[in-house]
Amino acid sequence: MKYFAIFLIIGGLIALFGMFAIPPAYASFTDSILVQVDDDFRKVYYNEKNVDSVLFDFDSSSVVFETGYNAVLEIKSPKVYKVGPGPFILKNGEEIAPEYTSDDCFYYINIETKTPKTIELVFTFWPEYPEIIEGCEAFIVSPLKQFKSDIPIHNIQCKEGLMLIEKYDETPACVTPDSKQKLLERHWTVSPSYKVVGLDTAYVGEPIKIAVEKLGWNKCNNYDAKIYTISHDNVWGYGSSGSCVTLDPPKLSKSTIDVPRNKKYPIIETTGNYIFEIKFGHTIITEEFSVKNLISKPTQNTISVFCGPSLEQIRAESSIDILAPRHLPVGYSLKSTDNIHPGIILLNYARGNTCGTDAHTLEDGKIEVVIAFSPDAPLESDGETFLEQYKTQYKENNVGFQTSVVDSRFYIIGVNGMIQQLVDNDRIYDEKWIEPTRVHVFDEKNSAGYKITAHLPLYEVMSIAKSLSEID
């Protein structure tokens, strides 16, 4: 009996200490997920029965399991991220004390749920340097594998001595400083740039013709787009699974992506501020815009409007190269021309028809390009003198302006238009352009002057003016 009692005591102590030292019998784990806290990568291993999804939440540094009915979840979690004396687990947002054991490197956790639950394994309350435990596994995985694990590209880590770059195909790579410089010289690390257009003319009940202009190394129409209110209530969404082709050999190219591609543009029935969001892979672009009341829709004329010769005919008869803008807001195209006399040409761009018996009056929706030159002799001027003349004029009148020089040939200067706020009982309910934006361009090669006017923001008209250049 004496030896039997001692045996029972020893057995009990082994069982007690085993709760904290010996991994359970189910230690052969079938799945894993990569996690990151600060610059450290680890894996959480798990077995699961009736678990619908598993993901790592970067914002809360936690692994989130969504369970179904009668779920059994077995987890092997690194102790290097511990928050307190044991694993920190939330079930539907409430802290629980699950059954677990541990060894030097891991917690072994067993959780069962009868009904669907959200189980969250939390590593830190806030980003901080983890406690390093010698002899426990750690990972520096390839940048591409990190990228495919949905780790944001700015959080991807490289081995010591290497530097992170984003390649032309929008994937990450780790390279030596010398290689990075060589790639920079060849433009292989240029990230794509995106610009959302069409949101400046958003009116209640009217289609919002959204497009995204992209400068990048591939042509890709895969995206997810949505519009939501400032309070994050969704009002519209669209996803495209079109083709995605990286140019080979690599070539930087421009493209315009209509959103949506089938031209079924969103229509919003309530005025207010909204947010447009579009996601290309790991890149998310957001832009806030306002939906306003359309005070006066274009009305139909009852007279016939003559629109002059074609641009091709004007160019054939001109003594200089007549340039037309290659960049226009979505929906705009050349609608009419007028050869006023041998030295002045007028080009009108609009969203609707401006010629014939069904022409519409589009005062606020017209982009007017006036080209002035001397057919007999070049102007006695140059680009720098041209800029200085306008700068002096604008400064004397306390007018703000913006300038640009394109390839030392096109000298551009512009001033923003004027917008009047419409007020009712001290409440601003809409805005209306009362003066157009004016941008002047001097083409030093042809000694020709261009004046572009439009009821658009200055940055938009400056972009139109720069697109007169024949240089990409």
* pLDDT score recorded for residue 71: 92
Work out whether strand 448-454 and strand 118-122 pair parallel, antiparallel, or are unpaired.
unpaired
Residue 36 or 101, more confident: 101
Residue at 23 is within a domain: no
Residue 104 or 283, more confident: 104
First vs last C-alpha separation in the chain = 96
CB neighbours of residue 330 within 10 Å:
19
The region of weakest confidence among 214-218, 380-384, 386-390 is 214-218
Residue at 17 is within a domain: no
Residues 272 and 208 in one domain: yes
| Interval 415-427: pLDDT, tens | 998 888 777 666 6
Residues 174 and 211 in one domain: no
Residue at 40 is within a domain: yes
Residue at 232 is within a domain: yes
Residue at 282 is within a domain: yes
Residue numbers of the domain that contains 250: 193-291
pTM of the model: 0.39
| Strands (DSSP E) found in 114-233 | 118-122, 163-166, 172-175, 193-197, 210-216, 218-229
Residues 319 and 446 in one domain: yes
Residues 325 and 414 in one domain: yes
Residue at 130 is within a domain: no
Beta bridge partners of 339: 345
Residues 272 and 357 in one domain: no
Residues 87 and 169 in one domain: no
CB neighbours of residue 109 within 10 Å:
22
* pLDDT score recorded for residue 450: 93
| Interval 124-154: pLDDT, tens | 644 444 556 677 887 767 777 777 776 777 7
Residue at 357 is within a domain: yes
Greatest mean pLDDT range, 40-44, 280-284, 295-299, 442-446? 442-446
Residues 180 and 204 in one domain: no
Residues 456 and 438 in one domain: yes
Residues 92 and 226 in one domain: no
* pLDDT score recorded for residue 412: 94
* CB 106 within 8 Å of CB 80: no
State mean pLDDT over 378-385. 72
Boundary of a domain, candidates 291, 324, 341: 291
Confidence of residue 72 (pLDDT cuts 50, 70, 90): very high
Residues belonging to the chain: 472
Boundary of a domain, candidates 263, 291, 319: 291
| Interval 387-441: pLDDT, tens | 998 998 888 888 889 999 988 889 999 999 888 877 766 666 667 788 889 999 9
Residues 166 and 199 in one domain: no
* pLDDT score recorded for residue 274: 94
Helix (H, G, I), strand (E, B) or coil at 325: coil
Q: How many whole angstroms separate alpha carbon 21 and alpha carbon 239? A: 50
CATH classification of the domain holding 200: 2.60.40.10
* pLDDT score recorded for residue 187: 60
* pLDDT score recorded for residue 8: 45
Residue at 389 is within a domain: yes
* pLDDT score recorded for residue 440: 95
* pLDDT score recorded for residue 282: 67
Helix (H, G, I), strand (E, B) or coil at 297: coil
Total number of domains in the chain: 4
Residues 106 and 154 in one domain: no
Residues 436 and 361 in one domain: yes
